[in-house]
Amino acid sequence: MELNQRQGRIIEIVKEEGPITGEQIAEKLCVTRATLRPDLAILTMAGYLEARPRVGYYYKGKSELKQISEELKKIRVGTYQSKPVVVDKNLSAYDAICKMFDADVGTLFVVENNMLAGVVSRKDLLRASIGTQNLTTLPINVIMTRMPNVNYCKEADLVHEVVQLIIDKQIDALPVVKETEAGLQITGRFTKTNIARVFLDIVHSTE
């Protein structure tokens, strides 16, 4: 929550002089008690101030965790996403394995006519490898998780909502996409590693 200038001043006054009555705060700010009422109600509801009957307002502050949580909730996918690793749906399972090693990723995004068509993960390739199929002639199109079952996100999505999706669906990565007339164009990759980076940034930001 963004505080306005007067709310900021009220907090300063209460911090220095609390407990202090609404009348006294109003006097210091040269406004009427009625003018202050909405600000005091907001600050009380938001947890900055506490009002004790016949005593006045005193500073309660916001817990650090609550502040961190509010900051975390503002972070968007676009700030943390990585470059996507994209392959064509006709690539063989064998070449997909090589690509995973080369690109050092655990998930490949599959396109058809440059638009998102599916996702291939390590497990999909392991499953294909323990069968009797010839991996050099097996197209990933056959083993991928395909649209419309692919979960994806957009750059403007909030990270905490995307994390919830990753947890709920028990997957490691999401393609970041842009909607176009031709379909979903892949612009990025959002993975559990990106989530770990958010965590590290928060830790280091307080040092």
User: Closest Cα partner for 88 from 135, 140, 137?
Assistant: 140
Least distance in angstroms from the C-beta of 87 to ligand ADP = 13
Q: Rule CB under 6 A: is residue 128 a binding residue for ligand ADP?
A: no
Nearer to ligand ADP by C-beta: 99 or 122? 122
Q: Which stretch binds ligand ADP (CB under 6 A): 42-50, 66-74, 147-155, 193-201?
A: 147-155
Binding mask 154-193 for ligand ADP (x = CB under 6 A): ----------------xxxxx-------------------
Do 192 and 105 meet the contact criterion of CB atoms below 8 Å apart? Answer: no
Closest-CB residue for ligand ADP? 123
- Position among 123, 131, 178, 180 found at the interface with ligand ADP (CB under 6 A): 123
Least distance in angstroms from the C-beta of 86 to ligand ADP = 13
Least distance in angstroms from the C-beta of 31 to ligand ADP = 54
Residue type, position 168, single letter: D
Q: Rule CB under 6 A: is residue 100 a binding residue for ligand ADP?
A: no
Nearer to ligand ADP by C-beta: 159 or 173? 173
Tokens for 69, please give them: 């949580």
Q: Rule CB under 6 A: is residue 124 a binding residue for ligand ADP?
A: yes
Dist. CA 72–CA 193, nearest whole Å: 16
Nearer to ligand ADP by C-beta: 44 or 82? 82
Q: Rule CB under 6 A: is residue 153 a binding residue for ligand ADP?
A: no
Nearer to ligand ADP by C-beta: 7 or 107? 107
